[in-house]
Each structure stands twice: as C-alpha cells, then as structure tokens.
Amino acid sequence: MFNSDCTGCVAGYNFLINEFYTGSSGWSMPGSSQHTAGTDMLLYEGNVGAQSAADNFHGTHNFITEFRNYWTGTQVKCWISGSYPTATFGTCNNDRLAVMLRAYSRFYNFVGNVLGTQGINTTYMNNSSEDATIYSIGNGNTESGVTVPNDPQVAATLFRWGNYDVVNASNRFLASEVPTGIGTYANPVPASQVLPSSFYLSTRPSWWRSMPWPAIGPDVTGGSGTGLGGHVYSNPAQDCYLNVMHGPADGTGSVLTFNADTCYAGATAPAPPAPPTNLIITVQ
C-alpha cells in the first residue's frame, strides 16, 4: 500500500496475505512500504498485514498515523523458490518485523495498534538485525556504494500510545513513549486512555460485516489469536477472504475471484469530512 507518493490519503480496512516477493528466500514482505518521496500526512486504519515499513533510499516520510491496525510481524508462509503460481513457499526467516521505520521517517504516530506474532517477534526493539522484533527504528542503510546514516530523530519524534504487542503482552499507555521534549511538534502526554472508534468514520459503516466495531485495539475484548490479549477480530476484508471467498489461510494457491457486492452488500462510500470553519491566519 502506498508504494508511491501520496499526501493526505487514507488506507482503511485492507487485508494483506501472501505479500509475494522473490528477491530473498524466506523474506517476509511488508504489507505497506513508504517507498518514495512525497509521502506524508497519511492515515492507516484498521488494516491487517505483515508489516508497516518506511525505507530510506526513496525519500523522506513524515507525519504518518497508524491507528487500530494489526501488523502481524511475519507472514504465514514466504516465497522460497520458483515462479507464481507454482512457486514453493515455506517458513519465513528474515525481515520478520511489525514496524520498520528507517532513517528520516519522522513524526510518526502509532496509536491503538496490535503488533506481532507470539513466538516469532521475541524482542520489543532491535536496531541491528532487523528481524524477529516488534520495532526497528531509525536504521540507515548502504546500497550501491551510497550510505544513509542512522537517524536518532526517528525515535525521538515517534509518538506511541495504547499499542499492544506480543512481547510485553500489555496495552502500553506510557509517558516514556510520548515525544514531550522535542522542540517542534512536541506531544503532551494524553490525559485519557479512551480512543475513538475511527479517525475518519463517524459511525460504523454500512459495509461492516458481523465482527465488532471497532475490530482492533486495546479496548477490544473477546477476539481471537494466540498472545493477542483478545484485542483482534478480523476486519471485513479478511472475513470476506476467509469466509466468502474461502481463501487458504496461508494465502498460497490460485488467484481468487473477488466480488464487492458479495463481500460488502449494501456498501456505500463514507461521507467526506466537513470543511473546516473559523480558520484564522496569523502573519508574523
């Protein structure tokens, strides 16, 4: 998702599986990768996929918000060899991350997400191996003789609030993960742990299926998945894939036929937000 430039865009309630990549055997490909310049002020909400990533060779990325997503930290199976659709798939063994924010990906907000897979993502932050961890933050990289250095400002400007991960097995409402001390765009520690159901939908949408609304977050209970604290239900796209299209749980096999009318009967697009009012321009 958003493997190109986009400003002020929303990626909402997608389901990603078998994120096919043949560059490295066993590589767990991100479900979303900010991979170019001109990527800022995005909202990711309610998505389910392996990883949210931001690289460092194709431009900076800033002011991006992740809300109520489930980033699993790995795929069920990864490409080993061969060509699609007869490729061989097997155990994922590298790039198993829930979140990777490389150098110059600053002022990110992670709120109310669920992160990782129990037994796979075994450390909270590991900035050296970029594998088997929840977060990898601020790493540089070298390609074709060009080096981008590590960037400590990625961590310094990162706002995290109310995320659940399989390593700590708790909802993390921690003042230490709020960037209160930075000089520009500092965040005060939120006074409340109550989160809205959505950052862009005013009510439960008509295309929502039978799962609870919201389906993911620290305030969600009774969901499934080992080690997830009951904080995750499938989103509508995932429910459609598994229960309407009857897609395999590991995402392998032939291409399936998608019918939006079957998956989202009575679907209507959400109304756009109201235009702002009472704006004041101050000239200094």
Closest CA to 239 of 227, 223, 255: 223
Looking at residue 39, its amino acid is T
Kindly tell me the burial class for residue 190, based on how many C-beta atoms sit within 10 Å of its own C-beta (0-12, 13-18, 19 or more): middle
In angstroms, the CA 38 to CA 271 distance is 26
pTM exceeds 0.75 for this model: yes
Pair type for strands 109-111 and 65-67: parallel
**Helix (H) or strand (E) run with residue 237 in it:** helix 236-239
Q: Which domain holds residue 196?
A: 1-284
Encode the chain (284 residues) as per-residue pLDDT tens digits: 777 788 999 999 999 999 889 989 999 999 998 888 888 999 999 999 999 999 888 888 999 999 999 999 999 999 999 988 789 999 999 999 999 999 999 999 999 999 999 999 999 998 778 999 999 999 998 888 899 999 999 999 999 999 999 999 999 999 999 999 999 999 999 999 999 999 999 999 999 988 999 999 999 999 999 999 999 999 999 999 999 999 999 999 888 999 988 888 755 555 566 776 776 665 54
Total domains in the fold of the chain: 1
Of 14, 21, 20, the closest CA to residue 44 belongs to 14
